[in-house]
Amino acid sequence: MSTTGIVSVTNLSKCYGNFTAVNGISFSIRRGEIFGFLGPNGAGKTTTINMMIGLARPSGGSVEIDGIDAVKNVKKAQSIMGIVPDESNLYDEMDGFDNLCFCGSLYGMRKAEREQRAKALLSQFDLAKAGKRPFKAYSKGMRRKLTIAAGIIHRPEILFLDEPTTGIDVESARQIRHLLLELKQRGTTIFITTHYIEDAERICDRIAFIAGGNIVANGTVSELMQSVSHGYAIRLTANQNLEPLAGDLQQHFDGCTVKVDTNHEVTLLCEERIPLSPVLQYLDGKGISVFEAKEIRPTLEDVFVNITGIEAEKLKKEKEKGGVAK
Amino acid sequence: MKTWIAFWNILKKDIQNYYLKPPNISWGIIFPLSWTLMQLIRSSGGMNLSDIRALLPGLMAMSVLFGTTSMLAVTITFERKGRSFDRLLLAPISLSTMVAAKLSGAILFGLFNAFVPVIFASFFIDLAVISWGVVLLAVFLIAVTSTLLGLLIAVSAKEVFEAQTFSNFFRFPMLFLCGLFLPVSSLPVFLRPISYLLPLTYGTDLLGGAILGVGTLPPVLCVLILLVFAIVLFTFCQYNIRRKWIL
Ligand SMILES: Nc1ncnc2c1ncn2[C@@H]1O[C@H](COP(=O)(O)OP(=O)(O)OP(=O)(O)O)[C@@H](O)[C@H]1O
Ligand SMILES: [Mg+2]
């Protein structure tokens, strides 16, 4: 573990009967980073988080948080944690403001302090007007936001979020990402599980992929990208059918592969990075106007698909399912 | 200090969210009241003031029993079902402090319920001769043990209706087994051992001694036995909570 590590998970496993939900995983989280935990439904994300926060007892392995053995000394570890569970589980009968204040009080915040903080959070999350409404009258997105607010009211050093953006609209998801980056800037360490690869790509410093209870890849976003690097590619969009030119292009740019995508689009693939201007000049010389030329990089999704062998389609379906169901 | 803030706020939340809700308050009042009326009407029509006094210990014990057992079992099962209970499990306070806070709400509610019949009785009889210190202690110990029984049910129940059913399963027989309205000595011999396995028997005996002067066991013994029940139940519940609620 590096000296700046705040979490270190070693050989952590969880069995339910003879079913292994988490199979001896190890990883560490550095202080102040956003660590993404990605995987499809049933991969073991929630089980892992629950073991880290003390809601589930590991069948084996250890969790150390800020030097505290989080399995043996749960309560001490919990005092520096903030937790946003996958379900919005505040008190239905209580209003938003009281809910936040109550959560603050559980961490020993005094009345004046927690009330002030609750007010600030309500307005930060655009919930100021809903502060006096009971939680049960909140919409799904509002519930989600209040649950996140409840998780950070006591300014935790490390924040655990289980699928914070599942089932909410694009704008709210953007707000949440923004908030997480802000928290990070203030030094909060963040552990986030998600099956939205785009989310992870946008905000995470490091990512671990989990599938079937095993960590199948683990690294910074760029490290993971490199692992699937399939050379470089440029996609061109022109004013006319490029198909007849494909052979010429390939001949002219030795070592490149030309792939015709649609009538007006081709992709040039090459081992090395391709400079744009010769390509554009060449096409210009043929009387073709190019409207768009774009370098294509592998996405995290490519990495994920590559490593886990799970097709993108299946993943998409799960996302949609998750979005509707939760 | 931090622990105390958490403790107090859990207690306050429960009181506001559950115990001070009109249906619960009226339950605490209506049930003992209708039972009193039933007993009075049955007792040969004429209002006999000594009857009221004789009924008081049983009524108080019953009010506490009904106010505590199911309330705690139902509220905990309800919070567990809605997952808000996780917040309490995740709070950085010891499990016993958290459980004690949950228990306190129900105990206070039980104490409140116990004095509903007392207030009614005070219109009819002179209550000055009663040793209130002992009564308070007895009511408190009954409240504690019945609440713990509620916790025991909460630990075993998964659904709210289960909690409700389990509590009725326990408390209705207890009305007859624990000397509330029939002396234990009048029960068939084979039932009496069961009576002495139930904490309520000792609480009712203590109350009877303080209000009517007819206790059958030494008060100190009753108090000691009730304390032992409380400690054993609390420990057992905690063991079960650790085993069942943290998966
Ligand atoms: N209490 C339990 N008893 C038995 N099996 C369980 C239990 N909890 C989880 N599992 C199993 O463990 C596996 C991992 O579940 P987990 O909830 O951790 O998945 P996840 O990665 O969080 O999935 P999702 O994206 O759907 O939230 C699943 O196969 C699940 O059925
Ligand atoms: Mg999950």
- Per-residue pLDDT tens over the stretch A266-282: 888 887 888 888 888 88
pTM of this prediction? 0.84
What are B41-95's pLDDT values in tens digits? 766 555 566 677 788 888 888 888 888 888 888 888 889 888 899 999 999 999 9
Report yes or no: A190 and A159 within 8 Å, Cβ to Cβ.
Answer: yes
Asked whether this chain's domains A5-80+157-226 and A232-295 adopt the same fold, the reply is no
Closest ligand 1 atom, residue A16 Cα: 4
> Would you call A54 and B89 a contact, using CB atoms and an 8 Å cutoff?
yes
Say what the pLDDT of residue A1 is.
43
Low-confidence ranges of chain A (pLDDT < 50): 1-3, 311-312, 323-326
Q: What is the complex's ipTM, to 2 decimals?
A: 0.87
Distance CA A253, CA A232 (A): 14
Q: Which of A12, A16, A163 is the pocket-test mutation for ligand 1 (most atoms within 8 Å of CB)?
A: A16
The predicted structure's pLDDT at residue B148? 93
Interchain proximity A75–B93, CB inside 8 Å: yes
Q: Which pLDDT score is estimated for B235?
A: 92
Among A15, A20, A38, A46, the mutation site with the greatest number of ligand 1 atoms within 8 A of its Cβ is A46
Closest-CA distance of chain A to residue B77, Å: 14
Determine the residue among B87, B93, B99, B160 to mutate to test chain A binding: the one whose Cβ has the most chain A Cβ atoms within 10 Å. B87
Question: Cβ–Cβ of A54/B17 closer than 8 Å?
Answer: no
Chain-wide mean pLDDT for chain B?
85
CA distance A216 to B147: 49
DSSP notation for A8-72: EEEEEEEEETTEEEEEEEEEEEETT-EEEEE--TTSSHHHHHHHHHTSS--SEEEEEETTEETTT
CB of A41 shorter than 6 A to ligand 1: yes
- Domain boundaries, given as residue ranges, for chain A: 5-80+157-226, 232-295
**Winning range, highest mean pLDDT, from A28-37, B22-31, B73-82, B202-211:** A28-37
- For residue B91, the chain A residues in CB contact (below 8 A) are 78, 106-107
* B201 phi/psi in degrees, rounded to 5: -55, -45
Residue whose C-alpha is closest to residue B207's, from B194, B192, B224, B222: B222
> What residues have a C-beta under 5 A from ligand 2, the ion?
A 45-46
pLDDT of B129 > 80? The answer is no
- Kindly tell me if the per-residue pLDDT of B23 is higher than 90: no
Domain ranges of chain B: 2-245
pLDDT score at A323: 47
**Nearest ligand 1 atom to alpha carbon A210:** 21
In the predicted model, what is the mean pLDDT of residues B8-16? 94
Query: Residue B118: which pLDDT band, with cuts at 50, 70 and 90?
Result: confident
> Could you say which architecture CATH assigns to the domain A5-80+157-226?
3-Layer(aba) Sandwich (3.40)
Which pLDDT value is given to residue A215? 92
pLDDT of residue A318: 60
Average pLDDT of B2-19?
93
What CATH number belongs to A232-295?
Answer: 3.30.70.1560
